Structure 1
């Protein structure tokens, strides 16, 4: 068995947690404590987050998509594959080292996606960016935790409570899409989405692109404003 090698670590701004980048052969893992946040072998549900969301934007001219969390770039690459040439994709990543890893140690995983002219990297808190944005995005895709609670950062809870959902709704354009990735179901979050005014669809997808592995959940909410 090839051993895991820790390549780098990075503090999470404003928190006590530390992200660790590990490699085993050509496989990469990003860990938070004992929790594996992402693995380069498991991209299916992150790709589905982009594909399901962008499908609801079909026909829109120059759509603007906000992705919360760069991760290993699977959501970004899947969005770029289906969005038109006049689209703009803003990726908000809180931890600067994750962007560094994407251009360095994990460059082979990202396959040049950060160099796409449609891409803009915002280094900072996605919740703060959403809060100061009004009717700015056609879709907001959130994959910054293991579900609708603040795992990587306690203050991320404000993305998923009633106030946070309201702020996302105001940051979206008419009929915009709010999509949230989760490692498992949460009926209470479904209810909050609906109460916040989103026509909500809950989709179960596989972690592996070959339709194997754990079942993950994606909420797709279409705003009425």
Structure 2
């Protein structure tokens, strides 16, 4: 018979413009569920940290590079970036107001509190797809963690981000020699091909071992100088 520990506790449930988002507690873990799809939890964070580290390592010693993070999530990527003094501006795009509020005034603030107080950090409450299409800002690195990968998106409209037009928009917000890093729950050779076809260079995939199943991965690509 299940115990109270086995049953996730719903801390908050919101209906937003892109569907339902839920914050749950399961034992010691906090979990974000989007439209009934498990998105992420606070169990580890290795892959989110590698996402940021891989982007920084690919910038070849660039001084105070500016970073754009697509997706606030549970805050691991932001917290890790803000803990590294080498980054310049750190902008995070998050379209779900509920997720932002769970960090500002809720239980996820335990992960992101110091990062949100960092003067380099800015939260942009906007849809990432629209932002990369319209902004005049440019960055040295763009780290995408808004889906379970290019082949497994949270909402249908996110598919466009991984299309030729979407990748062209990602390249547009990157400065010459800038790095695109995309987290995925599984490798995607097809997406590697899409990156090459979009004009990116030095395309490669780094694996992150997990306890069970196929590895998580980070797809990396560089905008030509």
TM-score of the superposed pair, with normalisation by structure 2: 0.90
Point out where structure 2 has 5 or more consecutive residues left out of the alignment. none
C-alpha distance in structure 1 between counterparts of 2:24 and 2:53, whole Å:
28
Point out where structure 1 has 5 or more consecutive residues left out of the alignment. none
1:191 aligns with one of 190, 193, 212: 193
Conserved in 1, the CA contact under 8 Å of 2:79 and 2:114?
no
What's the CA shift for 1:161?
0.4
1:10 aligns with one of 14, 21, 31: 14
C-alpha distance in structure 2 between counterparts of 1:54 and 1:63, whole Å:
8
1:127 aligns with one of 103, 126, 129: 129
Q: Cα 1:77–1:216, aligned 2, differ >3 Å: closer, same or farther?
A: same
Alignment of 1:8-87 (within 5 A): 8-13=12-17, 15=18, 17-84=19-86, 87=88
Query: Structure 1 runs of 4+ off > 4 angstroms?
Result: none
Conserved in 1, the CA contact under 8 Å of 2:144 and 2:182?
yes
Q: Cα 1:6–1:100, aligned 2, differ >3 Å: closer, same or farther?
A: same
Q: Residue 39 of structure 2 aligns to a residue in which SS? A: strand
Q: Larger relative contact order (C-alpha < 8 A, sep ≥ 6)?
A: 1
C-alpha distance in structure 2 between counterparts of 1:177 and 1:72, whole Å:
23
CA RMSD of aligned residues (A): 1.8
Conserved in 2, the CA contact under 8 Å of 1:148 and 1:182?
yes
C-alpha distance in structure 2 between counterparts of 1:168 and 1:21, whole Å:
29
What's the CA shift for 1:58?
4.5
C-alpha distance in structure 2 between counterparts of 1:135 and 1:97, whole Å:
25
C-alpha distance in structure 2 between counterparts of 1:83 and 1:203, whole Å:
24
C-alpha distance in structure 2 between counterparts of 1:203 and 1:33, whole Å:
28
Conserved in 2, the CA contact under 8 Å of 1:66 and 1:91?
yes
Question: 2:89 maps to which residue?
Answer: 88
Conserved in 1, the CA contact under 8 Å of 2:180 and 2:220?
yes
Conserved in 2, the CA contact under 8 Å of 1:12 and 1:94?
no
Question: 2:206 maps to which residue?
Answer: 203
C-alpha distance in structure 2 between counterparts of 1:23 and 1:109, whole Å:
15
What's the CA shift for 1:88?
0.3
What's the CA shift for 1:178?
0.6
What's the CA shift for 1:45?
0.7
Conserved in 2, the CA contact under 8 Å of 1:29 and 1:38?
yes
